[in-house]
Structures are given as structure tokens and as C-alpha cells.
Amino acid sequence: MYNKKNLAVIALFNVIFFAVLYTALTARRDVINSQQISEEQKVESSYFKGVHYFKIKKQNPEAELKASFLDIRENEFLAFIEPNGVLIEDDRRIQYTADSGNLDTKTKKLELKGRVKIRDEDSRYESEMFNYDGTNDVMIARENVKSFIKDETTLDTLEIESQKMISWLKTKRVEMSGGVKGEVKRKRQYEGKLFFQSEDMTLNQQESYVKLDKSVKIRQNKMNLSAGNAEIFLENFNKKLKYYALYDDVRLEEKLRLDSGVYQKRRAFAEKLEAHQGTGKLILTGAPRVEQGSDIIKGYQITLRQAVEMIEVDDSQSSFKLKRDE
């Protein structure tokens, strides 16, 4: 006969035994489940150094890449270092170099970082960060962006600095923001340059049209202009149409050389200014006022010409010309 003490010891032993057994079985099951999950999540990768990679679909090239290091995952996702590559979409070729990046060949998404350089048919970009969405044909560049865009109609080249750039390739629309600074270089260098600054900028390449917004500044020859907003019509450079226009608190400063050889500062103020490059006219409207030497001229509309002392003034009753002889 077992006494109560022995029975208690046996019962305690059984409890401990079954507890240990349950813990061991549970732990083994967790390990097996973990291994199964790990197998399911395991990604097939291939690593290469100094590789030259090609991707062809239906006998048509889609991508080409040279890189110092390449990691190919599931034969679709590419991660690389020091890439020098080309993406081919329809008839468009996008060439790129960077410090590092990745490409999803299935979704056609490209991400680049560090000393990025991009080139396509009529433009090139430099930045620190770059994303391309091939499904929606959108390019986005960030941080110290430099854009070099050639206008298809006028063959002008726009060189622009900004902090962000978005380009919609199908509609040929480009938006830039963050300390925009740029210049328009004419195909014929002797025709001079147009310099501009603003916070935001939109370029419509199909219409050869530039829109500048917020804290706009334009410089042409010896003339400095500022305003709230502005437009540039690239195609109108040699036409009797407005080449650029400024709106909202327009200010003009110009250093004139008089016939006597003396230099004089001219300042003008208005709500709107239109510059007609073909005729050299600057038309001011919206309470225009011109300060030239000791003269102050006001009227309904005032017309100036770059580097020319003569001023044309129109009001509701008369039109006259004022020319100062010194």
C-alpha cells in the first residue's frame, strides 16, 4: 500500500512529465511551422559581379544593364550597384547611371540613388534621387535636380535647377518646384539668353510654353524684371507677338546709356508687362508708372523699348511721345 506521501510524489512527477512533454511537442511544432513559413518566404536570388545583363520579351529588348554588382531575385527584381543601363519602352529609350538602385522588370519601376544621370530622346536630368514608373510613364527626380530640355519646335535648350521635377512623358508636361533657376538658350547663340527664377514652373513641351509662379524674376540683357507670375512663349521669339509676359506687381529696372554717353537708371511699375521680342517693345498696363531720371510718367498704357530712351504714353484722351535731350 502506498501512503499518501508517495502518492503525492507520483502525482507531482506525472504533472511535471506531461508538462515537459507538452512543451517539447509545442516547440517542435513551432519549429516545423517556422521552417514551412521560411520555405514559403524564401526568395531565389542570384548574385553577379561585373555583369552585363539583358532582358528580352517576345524577341524585343526591354532592358540592358552593366553593373559592378547585381542581385537578381525571382528573375524579376534587380538590385544593383554602379549601374549603367537602358530601359526600352515602345520607341523610348531611357539611359541611366547612378551609385545604386533597383528595377522591377514586371511593374517597370526604376529607383536610383546617388549621382543620378538620366537621358532620353530630348532631355537629360541629374539628381540625387530618381524614380521612374513605366506603367504610367512618369519620371520623378528629387534633391539638387538639374534639367536640360530641348524644345522640339524652336530647338531652344532650357537649363533648369530645382529641388523636385516631375515629367509626364506621354503628355510632354514637366513640373518643377523648389528654388527654380533657369535660362533659355536660343539655337542661334547671337540671339542671347533669357534668365528666370521662381518657386514653381510648368513646361508644356507640346505648346512650347513655360509658366512661372511665385517670386518670379526675369533678366534679359541689362533689364531686370520681377513679378508674382509670368509666362514665356518660346515659339514667339521672332514674331510680332508677346515673347513673355509678367503679371501681379511687375517691376522693371534697366540701365540706359543716353546719347550724351551718360548712364541713367530707368524703373517701371505696372500690373502687367508684355515683351514683344520681334519689335523690341515692352507694353505696360494696369496703372503703369515709369521713373526715368527726374521724370515720372503715368498713363493708361506705356510702351518702352529695350535700351532706347524714348517712351510712348497712351491715356484715355491722348497719345504722345516723350524724349529727353541731355
Residue type, 221: N
The per-residue pLDDT for 88 is 85
- Sorted by sequence, the CB contacts under 8 Å of residue 221 that are 6+ apart come out as 192, 306, 307
Phi and psi at residue 135, to the nearest 5°: -70, -40
Give residue 222's Cα distance to chain centre. Answer: 29
The per-residue pLDDT for 8 is 60
Q: For residues 243 and 144, give the distance between their C-alpha atoms in angstroms, rounded to a whole number.
A: 29
Give residue 129's Cα distance to chain centre. Answer: 11
Q: What is the number of alpha carbons within 13 Å of residue 256 lying toward its C-beta?
A: 23
**At which residue does the C-alpha cell 510680332 appear?**
240
How would you write the pLDDT of the chain (326 residues) with one tens digit per residue? Answer: 455 555 565 665 565 655 655 565 555 555 445 554 444 455 577 888 888 887 877 777 778 899 999 998 887 889 999 999 998 877 788 999 999 999 998 888 999 999 999 998 889 999 999 999 988 999 999 999 999 999 989 999 999 999 999 999 999 999 999 999 999 998 887 678 999 999 999 999 999 999 999 999 999 988 999 999 999 999 998 888 899 999 999 999 999 888 777 888 999 999 999 999 888 899 999 999 999 888 899 999 999 998 888 888 987 434 444 555 44
The per-residue pLDDT for 92 is 82
Characterize 249-271 residue by residue with b for buried, 16 or more Cβ atoms within 10 angstroms of its Cβ, and e for exposed: ebebebebeeeeeeebebebbbb
Q: For residues 77 and 98, give the distance between their C-alpha atoms in angstroms, rounded to a whole number.
A: 17
**At which residue does the C-alpha cell 503679371 appear?**
247
Give residue 71's Cα distance to chain centre. Answer: 29
Residue type, 145: V
Q: Report angle CA 48, 52, 54 to the nearest 5 degrees.
A: 110
Helix or strand holding residue 124 (H, E): strand 123-133
C-alpha cell at 109: 519601376
The per-residue pLDDT for 216 is 98
Report whether 195 contacts 216 (CB < 8 A).
no
The per-residue pLDDT for 320 is 44
Among 265, 266, 273, CA closest to 302: 273
| pTM of this structure | 0.80
The per-residue pLDDT for 202 is 98
C-alpha cell at 53: 545583363
Helices (H), the chain: 4-41
The per-residue pLDDT for 192 is 82
The per-residue pLDDT for 322 is 52
The per-residue pLDDT for 26 is 59
